[in-house]
Structure 1
Amino acid sequence: MKTNYLLSNKYKKLGWTLFLLGVISGIVLQILPEKEDFFGIELIKDFGYDFLDEIISVLIIIGGLLVGFTKEKIEDEFIFKLRNDSLVWAIILNYVVLLLTVIFIYEGNFFTVLIYNMFTPLIFFIIRFNFLKIKTRSHEE
């Protein structure tokens, strides 16, 4: 199966590393009450800027794109179908979440959910695609 938009499989491990580092760091950053000192690193405070959120976002986006859009070791038509089905499923689920957010969440909390919503299509896609791969693999054995 010819897929010009997929990267080489060699980037998948780097993608998982960046993605998981970003997601775990993001969760820890949200849980910590004091965001001034993260993992013993004094944050850059010049001109009132705090770059940690942006660094975590970049890790999640780059890592997620590498995980989601690198070839599998065996890239056949079945994997192509799983990838497409997962992408469609992720977009639909993302917009259902967004619709529910618009209806039920207001003010500052709405903006917070919109920030998380930047990452949900990629996260939903990765979860669904890998779940289907594992499920298919377990049925074959």
Structure 2
Amino acid sequence: MISDYSMDFKEFKFFAIVGSDDMFSKREFFKWVENDPIDEILCLLVIIGGLIIAFSRQKVEDEFINKLRMDSLLWAILINYAILILAIIFVFDMAFFDVLIFNMFTTIVFYILRFHFLYRKYLTNEE
């Protein structure tokens, strides 16, 4: 999205619960649409990879690690919604749509960063 790079793959027909020909046409339900699947594949890979990283068990999984997980999740949700609130106030038109797309991934990214930061800090203090 940043560099407008596209990987011109072949478009395939997919069954869509909700679809339209373009962003401004009327939505239609339960129809076949032609779509380049690379966007969906990349989104699924990012989400599945993030979930695997975020919820992999640590060597020692005790109450303190569970507290770190909960604190990190709370922190990630608060930061994510603070960014979304700022975007609602200051970002408009299609740029806001881009913010919403990135917003799908930021909660898990913030969680992973915060949890691993606190976990590494805990490990260095324990040694």
Whether TM-score is above 0.5 comes out as yes
Structure 2 Cα separation of the partners of residues 36 and 66 of structure 1: 26
The DSSP-based 3-state class of the residue aligned with 2:84 is helix
Instruction: Write the deviation string for residues 66-122 of structure 1: whole angstroms up to 9, x where unpaired.
Output: 111222111011101100000000000000000000000000000000000001111
Aligned counterpart, 2:26: none
Shift of 1:44: 2.2
The DSSP-based 3-state class of the residue aligned with 2:58 is coil
**Is the Cα–Cα contact under 8 Å of residues 68 and 118 in structure 2 kept in the other structure?**
yes
Unaligned runs of 5+ in 2: 14-33
Q: In structure 2, which of residues 66, 73, 82 is the aligned counterpart of residue 96 of structure 1? A: 82
Shift of 1:45: 2.1
Larger strand share, 1 or 2:
2
Q: In structure 2, which of residues 118, 121, 124 is the aligned counterpart of residue 132 of structure 1? A: 118
Structure 2 Cα separation of the partners of residues 129 and 121 of structure 1: 12
Q: Give the TM-score normalised by structure 2.
A: 0.77
Q: In structure 2, which of residues 71, 96, 99 is the aligned counterpart of residue 110 of structure 1? A: 96
Which gives a bigger RCO, structure 1 or 2 (Cα 8 Å, sep 6+)?
A: 1
Structure 2 Cα separation of the partners of residues 31 and 97 of structure 1: 19
Q: Percent identity?
A: 49
Q: Give the TM-score normalised by structure 1.
A: 0.70
Aligned counterpart, 2:62: 76
Aligned counterpart, 1:27: none
